[in-house]
Amino acid sequence: MARYDFIVLGAGPAGRRAAIQAAKLGKSVVVVDDRAKVGGVSVHTGTIPSKTLRETALNLSGWRERAFYGQGYRTRTTICSDDLDQRIGKTFDYEVAVLEHQFARNGVQTIAGRGYFKGPQQIAIKRDLGGSEIEEVIEGDKILISVGTRPYRPEHIPFNKTNVFDSDSFILQPQMPSSLTVVGGGVIGLEYATIFSALDIPVTLIEPNEQLLPFMDKEIVDHLVQSMRERGMCLRLGCSLSYVHFSEKGDPICQLADGRLIGSKMVLFAAGREGSTSSLNLEAAGLALNPGARGRLQVDRTTFQTEVPHIYAAGDVIGFPSLASTSMEQGRAVACHAFGEPISADDQAPPYGVYAVPELSSVGMTEADAGEAGIPYECGLARFKETSRGHIMGLEAGILKLICHRETRKLIGVHVVGEGASDLVHIGQAVLNLGGTIDYFVENSFNYPTLAEGYKVAALDLWNRLQVSPVDENKKTQAPPKPKQSGRKKKAA
């Protein structure tokens, strides 16, 4: 029986980062995944293909140029399913090749097969070899469960892979329906709804909650909602789906709890996901799932250990925030803790990104967070369309919002909606996590014209607001300090 220092179940972002980190520490590592190719949900049906689809849709539709050339502008007059699928396939092949190279370079072994527990330190792997199924058992000193999630599929929804899809089957066979109903206004549902709206497909979004993305700042979410309504999307917020039936022509019809009917050519059910743990035989390892956890595991959020100390779990299988970026860092932390390396304290605010059209991204506190914590705060805003770069790009939507402590001017939140939001947020992330103040943005210069200049605009807006904010007489806000001279002569404008 083969024995390894580290067995990783699942080759997604958490699993691959953990495996490579452990290998770099000189440990013997094997990654077990039930797919023929590595990458996990992120590469196969999640992050990579959905973001590739987004970029494809924006490029082929000419979406980014319509502010200048009119809403009738199109890069391609006709867009078909093959156009969407071609780029996804190329990106997938590239991502898999990169991961396989990383594993090979670091000496990480991979096994394609369905792994499950035979005991606390034993993993059985069922593999298909030449049409016959065989089982082999391996042992590991440390084990990581990073199997990710799968779509939640309630029994009353008639999934058929023809015109009623879950999010995984939807991206595996992308189509161009003449109309689309998306059930679920979470991250996945919002992304697909806005992507297909950008392709000029009539889209209806059904969400039982009145507020979309409640974990993000309400003002930037409201900005997104306004953008969605302005381009004709039909939003049914505060409405729950009762069931789906079919018309005489076979088209799906969504029946809402309030009695309304929504007909379309296709339905995407994207109302949640659940941990892919049902086939792991967790009982053999001494692990149990909490009822109502939808297959997700509970862990110590610092070490990522389960109740069985040598078994860890990381990534989407442990729940929020369920982001590829945070999953990677969780995987690295697992490997370091498992093999005696120090792990940094989890005191850094991670950024969140939603790749809708337009994008949303944030880091730190929202206004609601600051209010609940009793922090005296103030906000500053920059609108992309009022910046030179935004005007050059023809941006009609987009805001950058800064939140700071009213007395210390420390930055406590950055929230962006608009083109490039997921990139722009990292400037604010660095300042926030380093304990900086809005003075950084006021004092320093930004390349001109850029959307990043919005930080200075928002910071100056914030500074103006601080002048009239009630503060203690001994802590009055002073004028912004003069910019430091670089010593170089300024070029003539």
Q: Tens of pLDDT along 259-307?
A: 999 999 999 999 999 999 999 999 999 999 988 889 999 999 999 999 9
Of 230-239, 290-299, 361-370, the least confident? 290-299
Contact indicator for 57, 198 with CB cutoff of 8 Å: yes
Gap between the Cα atoms of 465 and 436, Å rounded? 19
* Residue 12: pLDDT over 50: yes
Tokens representing 15 are: 């699993």
Q: What is the pLDDT of residue 470?
A: 57
Gap between the Cα atoms of 212 and 308, Å rounded? 37
Gap between the Cα atoms of 248 and 400, Å rounded? 48
Q: Is 155 exposed, middle or buried (0-12, 13-18, 19+ CB in 10 A)?
A: exposed
**DSSP 8-state symbol, 229:** H
| Three-state secondary-structure class, residue 331 | helix
* Residue 480: pLDDT over 60: no
* Residue 488: pLDDT over 60: no
Tokens representing 280 are: 């792991």
Residue recorded with tokens 């792994």: 115
Contact partners, residue 17, CB within 8 Å, separation at least 6: 327, 328, 329, 331, 332, 335
Q: What is the pLDDT of residue 482?
A: 47
Tokens representing 375 are: 């922090």
Contact indicator for 237, 222 with CB cutoff of 8 Å: no
pLDDT higher for 128 or 52? 52
Contact partners, residue 174, CB within 8 Å, separation at least 6: 53, 81, 84, 85, 88
Gap between the Cα atoms of 241 and 397, Å rounded? 31
CA distances 252 to 160, 167, 268, 483, Å, are: 11, 16, 10, 61
Gap between the Cα atoms of 68 and 70, Å rounded? 6
Tokens representing 164 are: 């009623």
Residue recorded with tokens 């390349």: 447
Q: Is 216 exposed, middle or buried (0-12, 13-18, 19+ CB in 10 A)?
A: buried
Gap between the Cα atoms of 108 and 444, Å rounded? 45
Q: What is the pLDDT of residue 345?
A: 63
What is the chain's mean pLDDT, rounded? 92
* Residue 371: pLDDT over 90: yes
Q: What is the pLDDT of residue 487?
A: 40
Q: Tens of pLDDT along 454-474?
A: 999 999 999 999 987 554 545
How far is Cα of residue 58 from the mean position of the Cα atoms in its chain? Answer: 19
- Record the pTM: 0.91
Q: Tens of pLDDT along 61-110?
A: 888 888 777 777 778 778 888 888 999 999 999 999 999 999 999 999 99
Contact indicator for 147, 42 with CB cutoff of 8 Å: no
Q: Tens of pLDDT along 395-441?
A: 888 999 999 999 999 999 999 999 999 999 999 999 999 999 999 99
Q: Which of 26-40, 286-300, 344-358 has the highest mean pLDDT?
A: 26-40
* Residue 4: pLDDT over 90: yes
Contact indicator for 172, 37 with CB cutoff of 8 Å: no
* Euclidean distance between the first and the last CA atom of the chain, given in angstroms as a whole number: 73
* Residue 204: pLDDT over 80: yes
Tokens representing 151 are: 């779509």
φ, ψ for residue 44, nearest 5 deg: -85, -50
| Three-state secondary-structure class, residue 254 | strand
Q: What is the pLDDT of residue 493?
A: 34
Which helix H or strand E contains 180, and what residues bound it? strand 180-183
Count the Cβ atoms, other than its own, within 10 Å of residue 36.
9
Gap between the Cα atoms of 425 and 352, Å rounded? 9
Q: Tens of pLDDT along 135-160?
A: 999 999 999 999 999 999 999 999 99
Contact indicator for 124, 136 with CB cutoff of 8 Å: yes
Q: What is the pLDDT of residue 492?
A: 37
Gap between the Cα atoms of 246 and 229, Å rounded? 27
SS in 3 state form for 42-106? HHHCCHHHHHHHHHHHHHHHCHHHHHHHCCCCCCCCCCCHHHHHHHHHHHHHHHHHHHHHHHHHH
Q: What is the pLDDT of residue 346?
A: 66
Gap between the Cα atoms of 26 and 45, Å rounded? 32
φ, ψ for residue 442, nearest 5 deg: -70, -40
Tokens representing 468 are: 């009239």
* Residue 131: pLDDT over 80: no
Closest by CA to 416, choosing from 229, 230, 217, is 217
